[in-house]
Amino acid sequence: MNIVISNNSNLPIYEQIKEQVKTQILSGELVEDEILPSLRQLARDLKISVLTTTRAYNELEQEGFITSRQGKGFYVMSSGSDLIREQLIREVENNLNGAIQAAQRASMSNDEIISLLRLLMEVENDG
Amino acid sequence: MTDNYLELRDVRKRFTGFVLNDISFTLPKGYIMGLIGPNGAGKTTTIQLILNMLEKDAGEILVFGGNNVQNESRIKQDVGVVFDSSIYVDSWTVKDTEKAISIFYEDWQHDVFTDMVSRFDLPHGKKVSEFSRGMQMKLMLACAFSHNAKLLILDEPTSGLDPVTRDELLEILQDYIKNGERSVLFSTHITSDLERVADYITFINQGELFFTGSMEELLGKYRLIKGRPKDLTVTLEKSAIGLRKTDVGFEGLIGAKEAAQYKECVIDTATIDDIVINVSKRGQRND
Amino acid sequence: MTNSLKMVKLDFFTMKSQLASYAVIVLFVLLFGFMGSSITLICINCAWFVALMSTTIFATQEKNNLNRLYGSLSLKLKDIVLGRYIFTVMSFVLSFIVAIVLFFGLALFQGNSFKLFDVFLSFGVSSLIFSAIVGMQMPVFFKMGYIKARVWIFIPFGGVIGLVVLFGVVKGLSGIIAFMRSNETILVISCLLASYIIQYLSYRVSIIAYRKRR
């Protein structure tokens, strides 16, 4: 597991940890059943407080990405990838809805919206 | 074995000209607590009360779940103390120090002491008075670690130390609590030392308990508010802590929940330093 | 009790580097020995010298702020005070032994004769003098700390010396002294007894004095 904390980020440290863990689960860097560093080891390595790592792990556990096994530590859950995909898809939905509403205010037609979407996707794929 | 290594309940101590009033806080095992506040706020007094170097006027102090006065001898076997300057005799060498101190501990670990002394590069031939401040601090630390102390109490250990040594100390403390069975109480007015590493904070200001709880709670509770002179409403002026007014604007500390309503102002996260500075100013303003 | 003994050890470690000043006693002995003084006189000189030197540890304690060290170790009020008294008495006994050994060595070297009983007599009398001085000093030093006590100690000292001078004139006391001279064993025993009583009373006062200081 790789974690890099930024002091200048707007995100609190525990959020940064959560984001990076989720990203690594999605990309496959962290695999199902892989054991994560212990709360205290992680705190020690990142030079942050134990309560911070505790909060990050607890929330990840509540959200279903990792699970704790009594006396053994925290492990990546198999459903992790799916959960994240679900979250990301929901994010896409929200963003698309926002875009559609803005387009309607700008009086764009449905076809115009779809063309614009295709164009942007091409740019995104090329770039 | 109790889960709270240190517990203060409504502790009170009166001196002429200064009163430490109703101080209560709890330090569970396995965590680091920072004891912060401006100079003269009562931090050292609190530590002296915990160690029974001063007699409290009222309240209760529990160390490892037991009364700190009745169980003093037993407790001090498991408590290590580091002060801001050397507590040993000037003319002692490292060897003299070990010989003198080890007398008092049932569980003195010579190997641990030797290991720490070499890790810290402490000179063997020199007297303690010839040590640098950093070395003096490390000697106290080496002694504290060599009798299996479960609670480490440090009273301003980093004043006068360079950033490298301060950083070293923080790493050492984090290693110390790694097994979850030890706690640290760290009093300091150099709050940047604590910002990332402390789990809990107790903030004492002018003898009063201003806050005790997790670091996160403290940082989440306050915001820095800045704005133009015309944005300073009457209610804002009253509720801001440590308000500083200039011709070009104002700045102060405010509760996070209240901050939301002041939409024209800039709201920033407050660092520990911001909180300590502004709260200390509040007291001065009232005088 | 054991904590008090640990305190005694700690006091010895504290004063370790100042052993040199105690070596001055050696010089005293040699000096007076060559001048042909009696053993009793030499020991009396040792006694008041060691008694006055015994306050040095208070100076070291204050200079190094050792109260913080005592606070971090499990040393309670009683341990500190009792330990200090035992340390002081032991310092005296050790100095006495050194003086005696040197005196005997010198006497043999010079071919002088000496009475063994004189050793007991010297010990009795010098103990009394030592205890009287230390008995007065300790509570003052415990109560006020080294710096202030150095000034204030002259009041009780001056008072006692004044009393001694005064009583030296009174006839009743000289009668007691004559009796003592004729029965030296009783003299020794009563000196030692008086020493112990003075030290014990002084100790009780010190406990109260030191407690008030916290």
Q: How far is B224 from chain C (nearest CA, A)?
A: 39
Average pLDDT, integer, range B71-92: 94
Cβ contact B183:B177 at 8 Å:
yes
Chain B and chain A touch, per 3+ beta carbon pairs within 8 A: yes
Tell whether A50 and A22 lie within a shared domain: yes
C152-176: b or e for each residue (b if 16 or more CB lie within 10 Å)? ebeeeeeeeeeeeeeeeeeeeeeee
What kind and span of H or E run contains A106? none
Of A78, A99, A117, the position where a domain reaches its end is A78
Distance of alpha carbon B21 from alpha carbon B31, whole angstroms: 25
Taking contacts as CB-CB distances below 8 angstroms, the residues of chain B near C64 are 86-90
Of B184, B202, B218, the position where a domain reaches its end is B218
Tokens of C153: 């100690």
Count of domains for chain C: 1
* B213 bridge partner residues: B201
Average pLDDT, integer, range C32-45: 74
Query: What is the tens place of the pLDDT at every residue in C79-114?
Result: 999 999 999 999 999 888 888 888 888 778 777 777
Helix, strand or coil, per DSSP, at residue B247: coil
Chain C and chain A touch, per 3+ beta carbon pairs within 8 A: no
Q: Lowest-pLDDT range, A43-47, B52-56, C58-62, C174-178?
A: C174-178
Tell whether A19 and A73 lie within a shared domain: yes
Distance of alpha carbon B165 from alpha carbon B120, whole angstroms: 10
Size of interface B-C (CB pairs under 8 A): 64
Domain containing B278 equals 219-286
Tokens of B264: 């024209």
Query: What is the tens place of the pLDDT at every residue in C15-34?
Result: 988 887 777 766 776 677 66
Domain containing A20 equals 13-78
Contact (CB<8Å) B90/C64: yes
Tell whether B213 and B225 lie within a shared domain: no
Closest-CA residue of B relative to A38 is B178
Tell whether B241 and B141 lie within a shared domain: no
Which residue of A40, A41, A47 is in closest CB contact with B197?
A47
Q: What percent of chain B has pLDDT over 70?
A: 98
Count of domains for chain A: 2
Tell whether B15 and B141 lie within a shared domain: yes
Distance of alpha carbon B64 from alpha carbon B82, whole angstroms: 19
Tell whether B187 and B264 lie within a shared domain: no
* A76 bridge partner residues: A66
Q: Are strands B222-227 and A66-69 parallel, antiparallel or unpaired?
A: unpaired
Tell whether A17 and A74 lie within a shared domain: yes
Residues in CB range of B122: below 8 A, 6 or more apart: B94, B131, B135, B138, B139, B142
Tell whether B146 and B256 lie within a shared domain: no
Taking contacts as CB-CB distances below 8 angstroms, the residues of chain C near B51 are 71-72
Q: Return the partners of chain B (3 or more C-beta pairs < 8 Å).
A: A, C
Of B177, B199, B218, the position where a domain reaches its end is B218
Tell whether B14 and B79 lie within a shared domain: yes
Cβ contact B51:C75 at 8 Å:
no
Q: How far is A49 from chain B (nearest CA, A)?
A: 4
Chain C and chain B touch, per 3+ beta carbon pairs within 8 A: yes
Tell whether A55 and A96 lie within a shared domain: no
User: Is the model's pLDDT at A79 over the cut of 80?
Assistant: no
User: Is the model's pLDDT at C181 over the cut of 70?
Assistant: no
Which residue of B77, B80, B88 is in closest CB contact with C74?
B77
**Residue A106 domain flag:** yes
Indicate which CATH number applies to the domain containing B141: 3.40.50.300
Tell whether A90 and A67 lie within a shared domain: no
Closest-CA residue of C relative to B90 is C64
* Mean pLDDT, chain A, integer: 89
Tell whether B42 and B93 lie within a shared domain: yes
Contact (CB<8Å) B31/A51: yes
Residue B244 has phi, psi (to 5 degrees) of -120, 120
Contact (CB<8Å) A40/B178: yes
Alpha helices in A63-109 (DSSP H): 80-105
What kind and span of H or E run contains B63? strand B58-63
Tell whether B140 and B247 lie within a shared domain: no
Tell whether B151 and B238 lie within a shared domain: no
Tell whether A24 and A72 lie within a shared domain: yes
Indicate which CATH number applies to the domain containing A50: 1.10.10.10
Cα C198 from chain centre: 11
Of B197, B218, B239, the position where a domain reaches its end is B218
- B125: DSSP letter: S
Q: What is the pLDDT of residue B215?
A: 94
Q: What is the pLDDT of residue B1?
A: 53
Q: What percent of chain A has pLDDT over 90?
A: 52
Domain containing C60 equals 2-213
Contact (CB<8Å) A40/B214: no
What kind and span of H or E run contains B209? strand B208-214
Helix, strand or coil, per DSSP, at residue B35: strand
User: Is the model's pLDDT at B287 over the cut of 50?
Assistant: no
Q: Which of B18, B69, B62, B8 is closest to B41 using CA atoms?
A: B18
Higher pLDDT, C171 or A124: A124
Cβ contact C146:C61 at 8 Å:
yes
Query: What is the tens place of the pLDDT at every residue in B223-264?
Result: 999 999 888 888 888 889 999 998 889 999 999 988 888 888
At CB < 8 Å, which residues of chain C contact B?
Answer: 3, 6, 9-10, 13-14, 16-17, 60, 63-69, 71-76, 214
Which residue, among C14, C19, C73, C87, would best test binding to B if mutated, counting the most B CBs under 10 Å from its CB?
C73
pTM, rounded to two decimals: 0.85
Residues in CB range of C165: below 8 A, 6 or more apart: none
